[in-house]
Copies of this chain bind each other. A is one copy, B any other.
Amino acid sequence: MTQHPLDLATHLTPKGNGRLEGHTSPGYWNMMGPFGGTTAATLLRAALEAPQRLGDPVALTVNFCAPIAEGMFEIELIEARTNRSTQHWMIVMRQGDDMVATASAVFAVRRESWAHQPAALPKLPPAETLTPMDTVGRNAWLSRYEFRFAEGAIRFEPREDDKPDSAYSSLYVRDLPERELDFTALAALSDTFLVRIFQVLGKFLPAGTVSLTTYFHTDAAGLAAQGTKPLIGTADSKVFRQGYFDQTAELWGADGQLLATSVQTVYYKA
């Protein structure tokens, strides 16, 4: 069976002593480096595949320290602490002697418990009534996903009176080719929400995520149960100020379960 491009892009070869080696993937190339979602997924996968791994990921924070060049990278996986039912990891990605990304991950053995979901599933028209975004000729990683926007598709047109557009988007999103949902895929999906400022101002400008935090709200079985169905996603921003803005996102299963939430802080020049 041919490997899915995401599995190829996040593939790691253990080198012993918590060191692993990987390679950037042209299929997920972004403007100036790999799509941040694959970087996040690769860092998480280092911990997911550790022999001493305990439980499932609950929280992942990735700090993008420097542009990642095309080619090899090394990951150092540090087991900070393992308790009875939680495990803490520090993870560093290097190219040569330079740290290009740092991350932390919290894993936990999750057990059924009292459950309650105050958040409301966003209401979208059926996926098949929405046209997939045309990704031809754009950065490669965009063609690794199907985006069907219900609200807040990027509109590259000048705004009337320079009035900024809403930062809110809702859409269906899934891997292309279709892929069973797991933590690697969900970590990458949490970064598929296009940089809000492009949408708000209707133009490209220098911008890049500096930190991304994703929380996972179910276990491996809960993700596997989603199969390859598109997820429902929403994204929004609260404030753009002094060169940085925040971006929040939700990823929902077709069954109405909130599977992941994420926040990121993004540099911009405007």
- Please name all residues of chain B whose beta carbon is closer than 8 Å to the beta carbon of A240 when the two chains form the complex: 113-117
Interface residues of A in 182-232 (CB under 8 A from B): 200-201, 210-211, 213, 215, 217-219, 222
Q: Which of B61, B239, B243 contacts A110 (CB 8 A)?
A: B243
- The reply to whether B114 and A270 form a contact with Cβ atoms under 8 Å apart is yes
Interface residues of A in 146-181 (CB under 8 A from B): 164, 166-167
- Please name all residues of chain B whose beta carbon is closer than 8 Å to the beta carbon of A50 when the two chains form the complex: none
* A98 sits at the interface (CB 8 A): yes
* A10 sits at the interface (CB 8 A): no
* A31 sits at the interface (CB 8 A): no
- In the complex, what's the smallest C-beta–C-beta distance from A219 to chain B, in angstroms? 6
- List the B residue with the shortest CB-CB distance to A59: B211
* A75 sits at the interface (CB 8 A): no
- The reply to whether B242 and A219 form a contact with Cβ atoms under 8 Å apart is yes
Query: Complex Cα distance A200/B92, Å?
Result: 38
- Please name all residues of chain B whose beta carbon is closer than 8 Å to the beta carbon of A138 when the two chains form the complex: none
Q: Which of B104, B258, B269 contacts A239 (CB 8 A)?
A: B258
Query: Complex Cα distance A161/B237, Å?
Result: 37
- The reply to whether A215 and B261 form a contact with Cβ atoms under 8 Å apart is no
- The reply to whether B263 and A213 form a contact with Cβ atoms under 8 Å apart is yes
- In the complex, what's the smallest C-beta–C-beta distance from A130 to chain B, in angstroms? 24
* A63 sits at the interface (CB 8 A): yes
- List the B residue with the shortest CB-CB distance to A88: B65
- In the complex, what's the smallest C-beta–C-beta distance from A216 to chain B, in angstroms? 9
Query: Complex Cα distance A61/B63, Å?
Result: 10
- The reply to whether B90 and A90 form a contact with Cβ atoms under 8 Å apart is yes
Interface stretch (choices A1-9, A17-25, A32-40, A79-87): A79-87
Query: Complex Cα distance A258/B119, Å?
Result: 22
Query: Complex Cα distance A61/B242, Å?
Result: 21
**Quick one: given A118-B239, A166-B118, A270-B114, are A81 and B66 in contact (CB under 8 Å)?**
yes
- Please name all residues of chain B whose beta carbon is closer than 8 Å to the beta carbon of A77 when the two chains form the complex: none
Query: Complex Cα distance A243/B112, Å?
Result: 7
* A139 sits at the interface (CB 8 A): no
**Quick one: given A59-B210, A61-B104, A66-B81, are A117 and B238 in contact (CB under 8 Å)?**
yes
